[in-house]
């Protein structure tokens, strides 16, 4: 545990910049795409080149004002002649995808590592990584996402979104939206994009879905949605938070602690008042409090030893209730912990990737 639990009495003396630096100094270890399954390339998006229609954001609720402010600040920075911010991402290309489009097994070609579609109907994955919104990056995810790309035979874009507490909500949603609009500008259609994420990245997928559905122009109609041990909400109440406390590697810090990652994510430094608690119920923070209708075919995977198990079950039940005519899949893996997919030596990890492969083939 990087920081011991504190109370709101300590907020005024907390240095959130130092907290951010300390967390980043203890980042997830780097990994790489196994060369036998694929290749990857580090790329970046010039944020100023990606157009976002602000009209589609208005009325989205709690995220509206800060999201519009972030977009406005980007535009002002560009207009002033300052160097535009870049958003890094990894493009992971499995050999299995190369075979499907006729590039050739084991052949490193320029086309395979360019962000434009290899064929007019090419499907790809837009992946949003986990890490409680304070950790994680594409480098740490190259190995597990490489396996996801390999099993699904889909090239995968992994967005390096900004992290809290230096960049609190909704900076992550802003970056996810930039990544999505960038793919559209390259020639991909929503119907050929599979949206995927693990842990906090799963929560971010839900936020992006809600935002795009709110836009009302059909851009939320993804080919599918894959949620791996998703963070269901910022208001967690499941019994598994206590019952699985001795099994999962996640630390169940109380929300009363301002060091709790979810409080570092949403308005770090704000006290845990009744107003704050009410804000956490907003659908952009707790998606099951809103409608999840019009979701694409969805698969949710988790382990029965997870702290988040009960709340993930609630999320799936809400997805199923709001989308009764959609192909929805829920899988619980006995005795597995949070995002067990990262433990590639486990047979359950292989089984989970194979199930994701089957799901992609079915949509």
Alpha-carbon torsion (278, 283, 289, 290), positive or negative: positive
How open is the CA angle 12-1-251, to the nearest 5 degrees? Answer: 100
What are the CB-based long-range contacts (under 8 Å, 24+) for 236-242? 236/308, 236/311, 237/310, 237/311, 238/308, 238/309, 238/310, 238/311, 238/313, 238/314, 239/310, 240/306, 240/307, 240/308, 240/309, 240/310, 240/311, 241/307, 241/308, 241/310
Phi, psi angles (nearest 5°) of residue 123 = -95, 145
Q: In whole angstroms, give the CA distance from residue 119 to residue 140.
A: 29
Kindly state the DSSP code that residue 306 receives in the 8-state scheme.
-
Q: Which residues pair with 155 in a beta bridge?
A: 124
Q: In whole angstroms, give the CA distance from residue 171 to residue 181.
A: 15
Cβ-Cβ contacts under 8 Å for 79 (sequence gap 6 or more): none
Q: Which of 180, 161, 170 is nearest to 85 (CA)?
A: 161
- Count of helices and strands (H, E) across the chain: 11, 8
The two most distant CA atoms of the chain are separated, in Å, by 62
Phi, psi angles (nearest 5°) of residue 19 = -60, -45
- Exactly one of 153, 199, 229, 240 is catalytic; which is it? 199
Judge whether 129 and 136 are in contact, CB under 8 Å: yes
Judge whether 224 and 298 are in contact, CB under 8 Å: yes
Judge whether 180 and 207 are in contact, CB under 8 Å: no
Question: Which tokens in the block code for residue 271?
Answer: 């006290």
Active site residue 80: no
Q: In whole angstroms, give the CA distance from residue 128 to residue 74.
A: 22
Active site members: 199
């Amino acid at each position: 545990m990087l920081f011991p639990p504190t109370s709101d009495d300590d907020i005024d003396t907390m240095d959130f910049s130092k907290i951010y630096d300390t967390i980043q100094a203890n980042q997830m270890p780097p990994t790489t795409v196994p060369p036998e399954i694929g290749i990857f390339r580090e790329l970046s998006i010039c944020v100023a080149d990606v157009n976002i229609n602000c009209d589609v954001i208005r009325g989205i609720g709690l995220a509206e004002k800060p999201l519009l402010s972030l977009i406005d600040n980007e535009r002002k920075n560009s207009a002033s002649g300052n160097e535009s911010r870049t958003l890094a991402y990894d493009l992971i290309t499995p050999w299995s995808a190369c075979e499907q489009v006729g590039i050739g097994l084991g052949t490193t070609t320029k086309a395979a590592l360019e962000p434009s579609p290899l064929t007019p109907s090419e499907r790809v994955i837009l992946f949003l990584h986990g890490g409680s919104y304070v950790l994680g990056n594409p480098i740490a995810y190259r190995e597990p996402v490489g396996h996801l790309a390999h099993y699904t035979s889909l090239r995968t874009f992994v967005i390096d979104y900004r992290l809290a507490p230096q960049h609190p909500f909704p900076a992550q949603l802003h970056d996810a939206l930039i990544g999505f609009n960038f793919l559209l500008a390259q020639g991909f259609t929503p119907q050929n994009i599979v949206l995927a994420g693990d842990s906090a990245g799963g929560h971010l997928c839900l936020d992006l879905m809600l935002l795009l559905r709110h836009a009302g122009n059909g851009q939320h109609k993804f080919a599918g949605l894959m949620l791996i041990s998703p963070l269901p909400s910022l208001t967690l109440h499941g019994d598994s938070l206590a019952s699985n406390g001795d099994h999962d590697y996640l630390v169940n810090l109380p929300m009363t602690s301002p060091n709790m990652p979810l409080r570092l994510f949403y308005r770090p430094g704000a006290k845990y008042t009744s107003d704050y608690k009410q804000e956490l119920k907003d659908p952009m923070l707790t998606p099951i409090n809103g409608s999840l209708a019009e979701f694409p075919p969805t698969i949710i995977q988790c382990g029965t030893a997870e702290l988040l198990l009960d709340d993930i079950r609630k999320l799936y039940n809400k997805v199923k209730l709001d989308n009764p005519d959609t192909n929805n899949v829920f899988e619980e893996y006995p005795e597995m912990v949070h995002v067990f997919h990262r433990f590639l030596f486990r047979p359950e990890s292989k089984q989970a990737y194979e199930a994701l492969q089957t799901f992609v083939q079915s949509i």
